[in-house]
Structure formats: C-alpha cells, structure tokens
Amino acid sequence: MAGPGKPCAGLYSFLFEYDTPRIVLIKSRKVGLMNRLVQLAILAYVIGWVFVWEKGYQETDSVVSSVTTKVKGVTVTNTSELGLRVWDVADYVIPPQFPDKTTRCHSSENCTEGYVGTHSNGVQTGKCVAYRNSTEKTCQVFAWCPVEDDEHVPKPAFLHNAANFTLLVKNNIWYPKFNFTKRNILPNISKSYLKNCKYNAKTDPFCPIFRLRDVVESAGQNFQEMAVEGGVMGLQISWNCNLDKAASHCLPKYTFRRIDNKDSDHTVSPGYNFRFAKYYKNAGGRDSRTLIKAYGIRFDIMVFGKAGKFDIIPTMINIGSGLALFGVATVLCDIIVLYFMKKKYYYREKKYKYVEDYDLEANSSYGSQGETQEGCRIR
C-alpha cells in the first residue's frame, strides 16, 4: 500500500498516528540525582510555601468592619479676632478674600444681577462699588460681611497644643463566612487601664488610645509643621487571623502613614483645610457668624484583614495540584536526556518505538504468501 504524498504527510500523521507513553528505566547517576532534586524542590514548594506559609489547607474570608472615634483634649487661645477662647472637642472636631479678578468692574454694566461666580463670595446685586474705600471697584454681592481673607495662614499652628490630644479608636470586625466577631478593645482591657494607657508599638501595642503627635511621628512627619497647612494621616488596622487557633490569637496590628503627598512637585493647594461657621445674633438682633478656615490634620481609619480556617476542599485541591507538579520532574529530565546529553540518540532510540498498523502488516504478509502458492500451482 502506497504511503501518503509529502504535502499530506503532516495531516496523515496527525489523523492516523497515536502516541502512548513508554516507561524506560535509565540507570544513570546524573539523571537519577537530577530527577530527585527536582522532586525535592517541588515537595518543598508544596509543603513549605503552599501549606505552611500560604496555609493552602484553609478556607479564607475578608474582613467586614466598622469604626468609631473619639477625640479628647482642651486648649486656650488669645487673639485680637476671637479674644480669649477655650477650644474643646465641640470646637475643633468637624464631620466634616480679597476681590476676585473676575469680579472687578468699572461700572454697573460689568455686573450681572443674580450672577454667582465659581469663586464668588455671594450673589451679585448688579451694582459696581468701591472696594473698602480704595480706587478699585468690585461687583457688589449679597453675602456675609466682611468677606473671607484666606491669604494669611497662621504660623505657628493655631492649636499647637493639639499634639497632646488623644484619639480613641473603636473598631469592630466580622468574618461572615466563619461567623467570627471581635473588636480592638480586647477582653482583658479594663476601664481603669483604658483611662491611663497610650499606644506604644513596643511597650503597649494593643492600647486603642493614640496621642496625635505619636501617630504623626510614627509616619516620619513633624506634627507642628504638618498642622500649619494641614494634611491627611492614615491609621491602618490589620486583622490577619488564623481561626484554627484560639480567638485570643486574633489581634490587631496598627501602622501609620501620611496619605497626602507632601514631597510632590505639584504644590498647588497643599495640605488639608475646611471651613465652618458659628452663628449667633449680635446686640442689634442681626444674624452674625464667625467664619473659620481650619487647617487641620485629617485621620482616615483603614481596616484590612483576612481570616483562614481548615477546610477539606482547598486541602484536597492543593494536594492534587502538588501531585500534578511532580510530572514536571519527568518532563524536565526527558528534555535533558533526549536533547542535551551526549548519548541523546541512544536514549531516544530506547525511548521511542515505531509500530506499524497491525491490520495493514498482516494483510501485506498474507498477500505475498498467496502469490507464491499460486505460482506453484501454475507450474
């Protein structure tokens, strides 16, 4: 039977040839040692990394969290604008100009009644008036008077004593998959301890009360410098819990970092500030307010965490994956033996055996015998 032509040889081989593995025992110290080293490396990876370090035998869940805070501290200021004043929590914890170029005018024709500009301090009345007895004129607005002057930032920081204020962080976590709950005020913390403790990474790492200066300095910043133009501090709480152990081993870990980029080349609108107002009626019965532009430090509480607990399904999946990886040792050794060793052609001959189709071979042999017999009969 004629074989396929050259153009169709590849297609013929793909359709009508089948490869089956063949086991060949190679007695070679080099190959045997290499095979065992690769298997040992795979075993170390599966046991050391997958099961011990990554805890591949556990089912995992992400944390669900809630946070509340409470600031404590009192300070006193004495300024010409506000006089002698005491500042407590109700004053400084907030949930929280000169004529603009676009409002300068020469006559009332340059002003539009009812217009509100993006940077305006109020609603224009349509009149062009002198600004504070100067030669400049500006569009009159219906607004609180006098308008805000935000060009002067107080230095040093207005509430510089705030460095000693404290922040109590109450954090509750829940891992819904395991129905596990806990909070950062640990069961062994008493009321008397909570009144006197201050967080310290070395001596008291589980106290939930933080001195503001310590938080800022832990992030490598200076509190007084940061308080001048404000900034944003991140207080990160990490809950990584192994629930195969007792619940007492599930503990919070606190870290601190400054979130706004102080060292960036882009210095437009640096730091953090906000405005708030105190409203009252003056002696004449008119509504008045004290507008305060506060440069402060904002504290963002961020909670991260992952919990794990033994489960048979991920255990079996990772065991199966580990066993499958042992096939890599065989593939790697085959490549080296068949393509890189000096006796590669010898090993390749032992590795592969080519077998023709049994039916075709049998028919070919039968046809040859029949022709010989027929020739004998003619004679």
DSSP string, 338-376: HHTSTTHHHHHHHH------HHHHHHHHHHHHHHHHHHH
Q: Which residue has the higher pLDDT, 272 or 4?
A: 272
Listed ranges 20-24, 86-90, 194-198, 333-337; the one with the highest mean pLDDT: 194-198
Give every CB contact of residue 9 below 8 A, 6+ residues apart in sequence: 3
Is pTM beyond 0.75? Reply is no
Please give the share of the chain, as a percent, with pLDDT higher than 70. Answer: 83
Where are the domains positioned within the chain?
26-57+311-326+335-340, 60-67+170-310, 101-142
Helices first, then strands: H and E counts in the chain: 9, 14
Contact between 35 and 336 (Cβ < 8 Å): no
Q: What is the mean pLDDT of residues 205-216?
A: 94
Q: What pLDDT does residue 378 have?
A: 34
Please give the CATH superfamily to which domain 60-67+170-310 belongs.
atp-gated p2x4 ion channel domain (2.60.490.10)
Q: Which pLDDT band, with edges at 50, 70 and 90, does 124 fall under? A: confident
Lowest pLDDT segment from 97-106, 249-258, 306-315: 97-106
SS3 helix, strand, coil % of the chain, rounded to 5?
35, 30, 35
Q: What is the mean pLDDT of residues 21-36?
A: 82
- pLDDT tens readout for residues 296-323: 888 999 999 999 999 999 999 999 998 8
Q: Same fold for the domain at 26-57+311-326+335-340 and the one at 60-67+170-310?
A: no
Domain 26-57+311-326+335-340, CATH? 1.10.287.940
Give Cα separations from 186 to 189, 193, 214, 325 (angstroms): 6, 11, 22, 44
In whole angstroms, give the CA distance from residue 19 to residue 3: 19
Q: What pLDDT does residue 254 have?
A: 96
